[in-house]
A and B are shown apart, each in its own frame.
Chain A
Amino acid sequence: MAKIKKSNRPEAAIPTASMSDIAFLLILFFMVSTVFVAERGLKVRMPRAAEIQKIPRNHSATIYVDKNGTISIDDMVISIPDVNWVMQKKLADDFNVIACFRTDRNTNYGIMSDILNQLREANALRVSFEAKLKR
């Protein structure tokens, strides 16, 4: 008599009980690591360029200049001669500070030149002109 063997294979299953734990862990990670930009700045339309490089965030000090020539650093509207001491203060906090210009594309270059001269006097010599990637 032929015997039919019953296979005693265990069913393959992926344990999904800890799935929600993993998901919550990821949520917590993103919630903690997300930094919202606190600076409101000025409304600018940045110019476009192709050869742009990343600017290290932790060393950057953003200078907003809108098309009317309003200058804002750390949400403080300042005049051109004040750029000197504001940047000196920034330089004292961080020696490697990079002045990042967020300037409207229609701003007159004269204002920018004046600010650049102020930066030179403040000895903040690392400058970056922020731009959007040209496609």
Chain B
Amino acid sequence: MGDVLVTAPDAEHGYELLAQAGPLAAQVGGKVVYAALGDQAAQAKEFATRGAHRVLTCSDPALTPYQTEPYTEAYLQLIEKVKPSIVLIGATIRSKDAAARVATKLEVGCGCEIMNLRLDGGRLTGERVYFSGRSLATERLLKDPQIATVPARLVDAPAPQGAGGSVEAVALKLTPPKAKIVKREKKESGSVHLEDADIIVSAGRGIKKKEDLKLAEDLAAALGGQVGCTRPIAADLKWLGDAHWIGLSGHEVKPKAYIGLGVSGQIQHVAGMRSSKIIVAINKDEEAPLVKISDYAVVDDLYKVVPALVQAVKKARGQ
């Protein structure tokens, strides 16, 4: 018995976790407690009406922007206060650090980006990507509290309902972090939401120059879709921002159609797009893994195929 403590670095992500926490709390006979930290304190009522029986807030300036050390302290103090049997933490590239650190202090396991959360044999259980995407592992948390990090966009956020649970401000004792941020720079505005795109045209290293990205952009525009890319295009070459990056270490997408242009389809990329309804590969190498896992493949030079495809799509759509 015990409560389910939920927290996420982003409010929307937090609502989604509340939807997943509800059934777990009912099964363990506990309450759903949401920790609204930093900026989220102002939205406390929102969490209370979307499934939290109890919302704890703390707007200590040390909690904004996110930093691993103060968040580790905050999570540990909240766990000490709530004594939950389950802790769900919204998984982002950063929050995972604090989750793992908290689990270490408590000498317990930590679920990494767990999907399909459930209680099985009375223990928190779920699936996660393993072997770079070659497999899905079913994992079980063996020790209490059962801590899992959970990705965004697995379920819809619940709509607000009723008066909602209680809200209570808590004081946390936070020490200044040893790792100091001396500069922080946002590389792009977050206007791209690949997860919402019906059609994604994904650019790989088969595209030789930054200017040639126009091929992908034109095709995406003709289809009414968005441009995605592989890790080297975003991270090495920096031709596109991280919001476009698909894969194990990037975004996971499930569009109606994914069209890879010069994408080899290494497993780490496939891990982020394998659930696409239709997969199209345009690649000059018939041995490329993406060709082998595609519904439709054109084995040819993308520089010849894509302009023709743009024309054919425009014609078909009467543009």
**Chain B associates with chain A:** no
